[in-house]
Amino acid sequence: MSDVLPPPPPPRGGNGCWKWGAISCGIGCVGLLIALAILLMVAWPTVRTMLKAQEKGDQVKRDMRLIAKAIDAYAADKGRYPHSLKDLVPSYLPDERSLRPSADPSGPAYLYLRPPANAPGSHVLLQYELPPPVPGGPPWVIRLRKDGVIEGGDYDMESVMRQRPTPNRQRP
């Protein structure tokens, strides 16, 4: 056996592939974060508007259920449906402010569609139209049927984009 050791490895240079791979990965991650931040800034106003509209819609549905209970109590007591929602005040609802959505007290009142005596459960009892949460979108119509089912309870972006009119393009 000899006492001779192999020569030491050459010193490493600062230009290895690991270094450049890490740098490009870091730059890619920063670029991705910047792109996501820009996307969030562009989309946030629409998302915020949709969330506020959803809150108003939820409040309208809660108010409709309360009015429907008052209508049912009136019908059970009197044997007929009220001619108008004002007939429910003050015996079944505290005041006339209850006839407007608490989410938008300055907005229009609920539309009451008095059912005939033999109306099916699918007859619309109450209706309210919220303004479109997205410019150019359709209004959000919420209906409460006689059987307690709420129609039009969700307003989603997909339905807005389907119903949104497309601009006319001029051919050159």
Distances (CA, A) of 137 to 85, 103, 106, 158, 168: 30, 20, 22, 11, 17
How far apart are the C-alpha atoms of 72 and 35, rounded to whole Å? 54
Per-residue pLDDT tens for 128-153? Answer: 888 877 777 788 888 999 888 888 86
**In this structure, is residue 6 part of a structural domain?**
no
**In this structure, is residue 4 part of a structural domain?**
no
- Residue 98 neighbours by CB distance under 10 Å: 19
Per-residue pLDDT tens for 95-125? Answer: 888 788 776 777 788 889 988 878 888 888 8
**In this structure, is residue 40 part of a structural domain?**
no
Count the domains in the chain.
1
**In this structure, is residue 68 part of a structural domain?**
yes
**In this structure, is residue 124 part of a structural domain?**
yes
Q: What is the pLDDT of residue 33?
A: 94
Q: What is the pLDDT of residue 85?
A: 87
**In this structure, is residue 67 part of a structural domain?**
yes
Residues forming beta bridges with residue 127, ordered by sequence position: 111, 143
Banded model confidence at residue 69, pLDDT cuts 50, 70, 90: very high
Per-residue pLDDT tens for 23-44? Answer: 788 888 899 999 999 998 988 8
Domain of residue 86: give its range: 54-163
Spell out a b/e string for 60-78, using b for 16 or more CB atoms within 10 Å of the CB, else e. bbebbeebbebbeebeeee
Per-residue pLDDT tens for 72-102? Answer: 899 889 888 899 888 888 888 888 887 887 7
**In this structure, is residue 94 part of a structural domain?**
yes
**Three-state DSSP string of 119-132:** CCCCCEEEEEEECC
**In this structure, is residue 144 part of a structural domain?**
yes
Sign for the CA dihedral angle at 140, 145, 150, 151 comes to: negative
Banded model confidence at residue 14, pLDDT cuts 50, 70, 90: low
